C-alpha cells in the first residue's frame, strides 16, 4: 500500500468511527427466547384460547395473527418439509415494549397423524406453547423478567399450576457480556463498512478527481461534486439475499440489484441504515478529495 493510501485509510477510519459507531450497535441480531408450555388445559380448545388471549391482552400484548406471507411461501415450497404445518398454528403478538414479543403454538387440535404438535415435537395430548422473545441477544432485562414472571403467574392461575411448565427460563442479562457483545458488533460493522467504502474509492477516486480537475469550477465546487459522485458509488448499503446482512458498495446494488422498482423498495426498507451511511461516505469523500489534491500538488512540486 502506498503511503498516501495508508494515510487516507487512517483518516477514513477515524472519521467513520466517530459518525457511525452509534449506529453499529443496533445491527440486527437474534433475540433471546423463553418458553412456557401449558399441557392439557382441561378446557375446550376454544375456551382455552379465549382465556389465554384475555391474559395476554391484560398484559399489553396485541394479536398480530398468523404470518400469512410466510405460510403462503412455505406452502408453495413443499420441499421445505412440514414447516408450513408449524407456521399455520403459530399466532404472533407484539408486546407492551418495543423489544418484547410473543407467539403461541396452538396444538389443541389433532394433526394429520392423530396426535398433537408438529415437526419434531409431537405429543399424545393437547398443549399450548407460549414463546416470549426479548429482542436483545444478551438476555431479559429487569422489565422483561418482570413481564415473564407476571405472565407465568397469570397462566398458572388460569390453567392450573400443575399444567403450566417453564420449558425455557428467561435468562437474565449479563451486563458485561452485553456491552462486550455490543462493542464487538460495533467494531465489526465499522470495519466492514470501511472496507466496503474504501475498495471502490481506491479504484474510481483518482480518475474521477482527475476529470473534475479539468473543469473551470471553484475548488469547493469540485470537492462537493467529487464527494457526491463518490458517495453515490461507494456508500455501503446492506447487501440483499444474504443470511446475515453485510455492507457492500452501492455500485454493486446499482449494477446487480434488479429493476428500478425493486431498488427503490430496497432503499426505502433500509433507509435507517442508508441515511447515516451516505452522510459518513460523503464526508469521507470530501476528505479523500482534499487528500488526493494535496498529493497531486506534492508530486508536481517534486
**Tens digit of each residue's pLDDT (9 = 90 or more) over 124-146:** 777 888 888 887 767 788 888 88
pLDDT in tens, 91-108: 888 887 667 888 888 887
Contacts of 83 (CB under 8 A, 6+ apart): 74, 119
Q: How would you classify residue 91: left for phi > 0, otherwise alpha for psi between -120 and 50, otherwise beta?
A: beta
Considering the chain, what percentage of its residues have pLDDT values greater than 70? 77
Considering the chain, what percentage of its residues have pLDDT values greater than 90? 5
**Interatomic CA distance for residues 225 and 43, integer angstroms:** 70
pLDDT in tens, 244-273: 467 888 888 888 766 677 778 778 888 888
Yes or no: say if 108 and 126 are a contact pair by the CB < 8 Å rule.
Answer: yes
**Interatomic CA distance for residues 215 and 275, integer angstroms:** 30
Q: Give me the chain's average pLDDT, please.
A: 76
Q: Residue for cell digits 469547493?
A: 220
**Interatomic CA distance for residues 2 and 148, integer angstroms:** 57
The answer to whether the Cα torsion of 131, 135, 138, 139 is positive or negative is: negative
Yes or no: say if 25 and 180 are a contact pair by the CB < 8 Å rule.
Answer: no
**Interatomic CA distance for residues 80 and 241, integer angstroms:** 18
Count CB neighbours of 4 within 10 A.
15
**Interatomic CA distance for residues 154 and 174, integer angstroms:** 27
Q: DSSP letter at 140?
A: B
Pairing relationship of beta strands 62-65 and 116-118 according to DSSP bridges: unpaired
The radius of gyration of the chain's CA atoms, rounded to the nearest angstrom, is 27
**Interatomic CA distance for residues 236 and 274, integer angstroms:** 8
Judge residue 213's burial from the number of C-beta atoms within 10 Å of its C-beta, 0-12 exposed, 13-18 middle, 19 or more buried.
middle
Pairing relationship of beta strands 116-118 and 32-39 according to DSSP bridges: unpaired
Amino acid at each position: 500500500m502506498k503511503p498516501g493510501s495508508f494515510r487516507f485509510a487512517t483518516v477514513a477510519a477515524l472519521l467513520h468511527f466517530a459518525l457511525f459507531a452509534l449506529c453499529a450497535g443496533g445491527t440486527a441480531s437474534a433475540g433471546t427466547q423463553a418458553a412456557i408450555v401449558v399441557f392439557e388445559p382441561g378446557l375446550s380448545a376454544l375456551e382455552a384460547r379465549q382465556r389465554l388471549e384475555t391474559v395476554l391482552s391484560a398484559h399489553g400484548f396485541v394479536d398480530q395473527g398468523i404470518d400469512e406471507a410466510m405460510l403462503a411461501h412455505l406452502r408453495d415450497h413443499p420441499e421445505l418439509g412440514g414447516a408450513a404445518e408449524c407456521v399455520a398454528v403459530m399466532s404472533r403478538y407484539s408486546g407492551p415494549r418495543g423489544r418484547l414479543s410473543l407467539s403461541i403454538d396452538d396444538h389443541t387440535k389433532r394433526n394429520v397423524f392423530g396426535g398433537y404438535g408438529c415437526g419434531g415435537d409431537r405429543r399424545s395430548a393437547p398443549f399450548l406453547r407460549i414463546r416470549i422473545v426479548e429482542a436483545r441477544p444478551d438476555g431479559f432485562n429487569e422489565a422483561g423478567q418482570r413481564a415473564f414472571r407476571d405472565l407465568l403467574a397469570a397462566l398458572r392461575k388460569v390453567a392450573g399450576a400443575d399444567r403450566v411448565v417453564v420449558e425455557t427460563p428467561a435468562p437474565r442479562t449479563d451486563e458485561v457480556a452485553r456491552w462486550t457483545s455490543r462493542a464487538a458488533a460495533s467494531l465489526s460493522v465499522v470495519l466492514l463498512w470501511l472496507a466496503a467504502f474504501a475498495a471502490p474509492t481506491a479504484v474510481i477516486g483518482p480518475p474521477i478527481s482527475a476529470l473534475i480537475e479539468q473543469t473551470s469550477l471553484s475548488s469547493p465546487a469540485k470537492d462537493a461534486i467529487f464527494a457526491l459522485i463518490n458517495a453515490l458509488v461507494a456508500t455501503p448499503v446492506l447487501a440483499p439475499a444474504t443470511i446475515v446482512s453485510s455492507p457492500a458498495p452501492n455500485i454493486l446494488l446499482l449494477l446487480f440489484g434488479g429493476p428500478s422498482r425493486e431498488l427503490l423498495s430496497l432503499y426505502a426498507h433500509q433507509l435507517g441504515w442508508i441515511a447515516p451511511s451516505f452522510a459518513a461516505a460523503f464526508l469521507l469523500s470530501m476528505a479523500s478529495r482534499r487528500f488526493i489534491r494535496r498529493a497531486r500538488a506534492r508530486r508536481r512540486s517534486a
